[in-house]
């Protein structure tokens, strides 16, 4: 059974139901509590019945009954009042007293506390329902406790105010107002001055701040296909080989081997920039997509798109730093190419094909798979930084914008992709078992690249938007670093040409860092991923915190009340990945957003997460400072819950309301005791059936629950469970007696 829903925004609950419970307890109460001696006090200036009741641990109703008072507002300085002892507490739940605030009406108060207007008028002997004044104390029949004052009412003097006018508005005398504020001259008031109203207390204010939005998540990435940590986990912990891991993640695919082909990779960081390449040792050739090559007698060549037509101007220079001059050469083609070459006869032993130039001279193209760095093109990034790329460099037109592309054989491309996507250090883990994970990565990256068709001028791109490709080596000033490793080169070589086919074509084998424990169903059926829990995975489970105001502002909401994941995909623990998230504001507004958008807005690692924001769980400890609402969940055995449901139905309550009513009953019975009860053995907090009840500070619910918990040395959840059992027992006695 799922926890019972709680209405939003929070409302005061159950006065009529609690009256029925009070009557039930009154009928069944068979043991009286020994009476204690009464106390007599003298009313002083500014005293009120509610203040006196609070100070002496009694109720306004008990004070009124003991002193024959019919109007709680009519007490005067010097009046002697009998304060009844604990044994004089009536065997009905105490009456609530509310203090009228500015703007209140009798009908509004009746509606707020769930009583009828006529009952409110009768309880307070009101002859004119339109005449209530600020500060007036009203009995609310059927309520459950006196309002707990938290501080005096303070009025700020405005322009035009006078002491007599303020006293009249607040229902106190001028002299009492002067005494309470140490005023000797009633005509000396200043704008902004704060005046304490004697005998008047502001309504209690409780925190509505529930701290940051806490997100508990699993995994990193989209979760489609292979999980990289999972592949490592299966290799290390289960001893799986490459093909078994691939079969697990890419269900429905079959292995195949394809020939090495060349592909284009869009280099996103060079978008809309001129394409500039440098060669240390060799000959630079330029040409169109189909046309002949032309030699550029320089170390650096730059291709510049000429407007929005298929035409490029060729410039030359001596370094990446500049000083370029126009060669006068135009390449009329949608794509312009730059390639490294050698004159025939002087080429190194490892060479590629032969290229013919416009003047009829042939050159030997460099085989960049085996060539040294000095024979590999550098793509200039600034005067002092560049990256070496195997293959050739191309410029392509996209409208009037220039694109830069690395055109290279797939097997050479993978030498940079595999270590960019998966740590090469994994190879040595588990006495070499981790090499299987690198081979899985090589096959997945090869299939993914060959299945891509991103652009007219390139097959894929070089960032996480596609898969990460960093080239052969980079430099910045005097510093340099490689992007290829021997371990990943070995994985590429061991899997040369291997791909996964789905329905006869190369499959787009997506992968992510960590699936969190279950893959997402898309092109491949989602499967459990126990390998993801490998010991080195730092993101199998994770926690983030987000400022609640930031979340509210992002979606144009006021102060937040609660956030809840309301839809999940159903794959994996806790219902799987978040599909829909609902944000609820305190003004009643709600906003539903997709789990993917919530992830993007706040930079979360994945969309498999749960959110904790709203009234806190007080099952084990009570919030400090006190908040306006908290919730407590009790767990029951199925048979026990059936009995509780039957008792709740008898009182025409829901089970959450019944739990709250039980707490009030036990708190009331506890208040009748003249001594502290002994602690009790707590019930087992176990059972498959869970029921959640909300407790509101402004209604005294929290005070009642904490009284029961403290009185019997229980947690909040235990106190709720014990109280529910007590009320169910009393209802059973009432039913047996025909009530």
pLDDT digits (tens, 9 = 90+) for 142-157: 643 333 444 677 889 9
Note whether 463 and 373 are same-domain residues.
yes
Among 447, 477, 502, the domain-final residue is 502
Is residue 434 over pLDDT 80? yes
Q: Provide CB contacts within 8 A for 205, sequence distance 6+.
A: 150
581: helix, strand or coil: strand
Side-chain-side CA neighbours of 381 within 13 Å: the count stands at 16
Q: Do 459 and 405 reside in the same domain of the chain?
A: yes
Strand pairing report for 505-506 and 152-156: unpaired
Q: Is the domain of 72 the same as that of 100?
A: yes
Cβ neighbours around 643 below 10 Å, total: 16
Residue 514 maps to a domain: no
Q: Angle between the 655-671 and 716-736 helix axes, to the nearest 10 degrees?
A: 90
Three-state DSSP class for 229?
helix
Tell me how far apart the alpha carbons of residues 241 and 235 are, in angstroms, rounded to a whole number.
Answer: 6
Are the C-beta atoms of residues 551 and 266 closer than 8 Å to each other? no
Read off the DSSP letter of residue 269: G
Q: pLDDT per residue over 360-391, tens digit each?
A: 788 889 999 999 999 999 999 999 999 999 99
The pLDDT > 70 percentage for the chain reads: 87
Same-domain pairing of 305 and 378: yes
The answer to whether residue 517 sits within a structural domain is no
Measured from the Cβ of residue 149, the count of other Cβ atoms closer than 10 Å reads 17
For the domain that residue 72 is a member of, what is the CATH number?
Answer: 3.10.350.10
Are the C-beta atoms of residues 120 and 141 closer than 8 Å to each other?
Answer: yes
Nearest to 381 by CA among 264, 266, 270: 270
DSSP sequence for 56-105: TT--HHHHHHHHT-S-TT---TT-EEEE--GGG--SSPPPEEEE--TT--
Q: Provide the pLDDT for residue 60.
A: 74
Instruction: Confirm whether 146 is domain-assigned.
Output: no
Residue at token pair 């010991």: 535
H or E element that contains 669:
helix 655-671
Q: Residue 95: what pLDDT?
A: 52
Rg (CA), the chain: 40
3-state helix, strand, coil in the chain (%, to 5): 30, 25, 45
Reference 628, options 549, 563, 557, 699; nearest CA is 699
In this structure, is residue 8 part of a structural domain?
yes
Looking at the fold, whether 189 and 289 belong to one and the same domain comes out as no
Q: Cα–Cα distances in Å, from 382 out to 39, 111, 195, 640?
A: 90, 73, 70, 75
CA triple 462-466-470, angle to 5 deg: 25
Q: What is the pLDDT of residues 194-223, one digit of tens each?
A: 998 886 666 667 888 899 999 999 999 999
Residue span of the structural domain in which 434 resides? 262-502
- CA 232 to chain centroid: 29
pLDDT classification of 343: cutoffs 50, 70, 90: confident
Bridge partner list, 365: 341
- Model confidence over 154-169: pLDDT tens digits? 889 999 999 999 988 8
Structural domain contains residue 225:
no
Retrieve residue 313's tokens: 């101007």
Please indicate, yes or no, whether residues 479 and 552 belong to a single structural domain of this protein. no
Asked whether residue 67 falls in the same domain as residue 5, the answer is: no
pLDDT number for residue 22: 46
Residue 361 lies in a domain: yes
Counting the structural domains of the chain, the total is: 5
Last residue of a domain, one of 604, 628, 644: 604
Residues 628, 590: one domain?
A: no
What's the farthest any 2 CA atoms get from each other in the chain? 123
> In terms of domains, do 128 and 178 share one?
no
Which of 502, 518, 553 is the last residue in one of the domains?
502
Same domain, 593 and 619: no
Tell me, what's the pLDDT at 283? 94
Burial of 281 (0-12, 13-18, 19+ CB in 10 A): middle
CB-based burial label for 686 (10 Å; 0-12, 13-18, 19+)? exposed
Q: What is the pLDDT of residues 619-651, one digit of tens each?
A: 999 998 889 999 999 999 999 999 999 999 999
Please report the pLDDT score of residue 202 as a whole number: 65
pTM of the predicted model, to two decimals?
Answer: 0.72
* C-alpha–C-alpha distance, residues 429 and 2, integer Å: 44
Please indicate, yes or no, if residue 550 is contained in any of the structural domains. yes
What pLDDT, on the 0 to 100 scale, is given for residue 350?
A: 61
Q: Are residues 178 and 323 in the same domain?
A: no
Task: Tell whether the model's pLDDT for residue 681 goes beyond 60.
Answer: yes
Same domain flag for 472 and 362: yes
Query: Does 350 reside within a domain?
Result: yes
Given a cut of 50, whether residue 7 has pLDDT beyond it is no
User: What pLDDT, in 10s, does the model give residues 468-525?
Assistant: 999 999 999 999 999 999 999 999 999 999 999 999 999 999 999 999 999 999 889 9
Per-residue pLDDT, 441: 98
For residue 496, what pLDDT is reported? Answer: 98
Tokens of residue 153, six digits? 């009412």
Q: Report the Cα–Cα distance between both ends of the chain, in Å, rounded.
A: 30
């Amino acid at each position: 059974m799922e926890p019972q829903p709680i209405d939003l925004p929070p409302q005061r609950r159950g006065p009529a139901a609690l009256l029925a419970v009070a009557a039930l307890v009154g009928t069944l109460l068979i043991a009286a509590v020994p009476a204690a001696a009464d106390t007599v006090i003298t009313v002083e200036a500014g005293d009120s019945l509610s203040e006196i009741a609070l100070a002496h641990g009694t109720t306004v109703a008990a004070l009124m009954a003991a002193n024959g008072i019919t109007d709680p507002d009519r007490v005067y300085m010097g009046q002697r009042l009998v304060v009844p002892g604990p044994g004089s507490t009536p065997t009905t739940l105490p009456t609530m007293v509310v203090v009228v605030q500015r703007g209140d009406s009798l009908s509004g108060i009746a509606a707020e506390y769930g009583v009828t207007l006529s009952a409110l008028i009768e309880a307070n002997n009101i002859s004119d329902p339109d005449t209530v004044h600020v500060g007036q104390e009203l009995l609310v029949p059927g309520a459950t406790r006196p309002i707990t004052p938290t501080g005096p009412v303070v009025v700020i003097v405005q322009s035009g105010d006078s002491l007599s006018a303020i006293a009249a508005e607040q229902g106190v005398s001028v002299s009492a107002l002067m005494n309470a504020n140490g005023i000797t001259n009633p005509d000396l008031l200043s704008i902004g001055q704060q005046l304490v109203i004697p005998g008047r207390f502001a309504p209690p204010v409780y925190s509505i701040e529930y701290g940051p939005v806490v997100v508990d998540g699993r995994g990193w990435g989209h979760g489609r296909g292979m999980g990289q940590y999972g592949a490592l986990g299966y290799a290390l912990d289960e001893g799986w080989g490459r093909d078994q891991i691939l079969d697990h993640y890419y269900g429905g695919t079959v292995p195949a081997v394809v020939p090495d082909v060349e592909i284009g990779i869009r280099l996103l960081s060079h978008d809309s920039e001129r394409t500039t390449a440098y060669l240390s040792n060799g000959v630079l050739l330029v040409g169109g997509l189909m046309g002949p090559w032309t030699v550029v007698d320089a170390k650096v060549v730059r291709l510049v798109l000429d407007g929005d037509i298929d035409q490029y101007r060729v410039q030359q220079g001596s370094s990446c730093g500049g000083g370029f001059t126009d060669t006068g050469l135009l390449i009329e083609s949608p794509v312009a190419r730059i390639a490294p070459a050698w004159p025939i006869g002087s080429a190194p032993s490892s060479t590629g094909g032969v290229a013919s130039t416009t003047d009829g001279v042939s050159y030997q193209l460099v085989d960049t798979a085996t060539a040294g760095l000095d024979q590999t093109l550098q793509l200039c990034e600034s005067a002092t930084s560049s990256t070496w790329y195997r293959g050739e460099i191309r410029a392509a037109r996209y409208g009037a914008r220039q694109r830069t592309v690395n055109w290279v054989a797939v097997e050479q491309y993978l030498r940079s992709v595999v270590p960019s996507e998966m740590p090469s250090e994994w190879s040595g883990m588990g006495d070499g078992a981790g090499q299987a994970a690198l081979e899985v990565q090589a096959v997945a990256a090869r299939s993914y690249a060959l299945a891509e068709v991103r652009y007219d001028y390139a097959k894929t791109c070089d960032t996480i938007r596609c898969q990460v490709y960093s080239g052969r080596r980079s430099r910045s000033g005097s510093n340099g670093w490689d992007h290829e490793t021997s371990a990943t080169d070995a994985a590429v070589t061991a899997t040369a040409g291997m791909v996964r086919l789905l329905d006869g074509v190369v499959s787009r084998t997506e992968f992510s860092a960590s699936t969190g424990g279950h893959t997402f169903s898309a092109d491949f059926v989602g499967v459990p991923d126990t390998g993801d829990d490998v010991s080195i995975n730092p993101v199998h489970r994770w926690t983030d915190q987000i400022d609640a105001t930031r979340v509210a502002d992002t979606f144009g909401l006021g102060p937040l009340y609660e956030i809840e994941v309301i839809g999940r995909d159903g794959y994996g623990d806790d219902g799987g990945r978040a599909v829909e998230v609902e944000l609820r504001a305190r003004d009643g507004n709600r906003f539903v957003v997709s789990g993917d958008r919530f992830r993007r807005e706040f930079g979360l690692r994945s969309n498999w997460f749960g959110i904790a924001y709203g009234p806190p769980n007080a099952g084990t400890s009570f919030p400090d400072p006190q908040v306006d609402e908290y919730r407590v969940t009790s767990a029951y055995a199925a048979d026990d819950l059936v009995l509780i449901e039957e008792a709740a139905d008898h009182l025409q309550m829901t089970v959450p309301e019944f739990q709250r009513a039980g707490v009030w009953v036990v708190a009331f019975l506890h208040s009748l005791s003249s001594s502290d009860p002994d602690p009790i053995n707590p019930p087992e907090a176990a059972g498959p059936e869970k029921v959640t009840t909300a407790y509101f500070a402004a209604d005294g619910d929290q005070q009642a629950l904490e009284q029961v918990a403290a009185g019997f040395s229980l947690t909040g959840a235990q106190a709720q469970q014990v109280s529910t059992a007590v009320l169910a027992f009393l209802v059973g006695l009432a039913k047996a007696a025909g009530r």
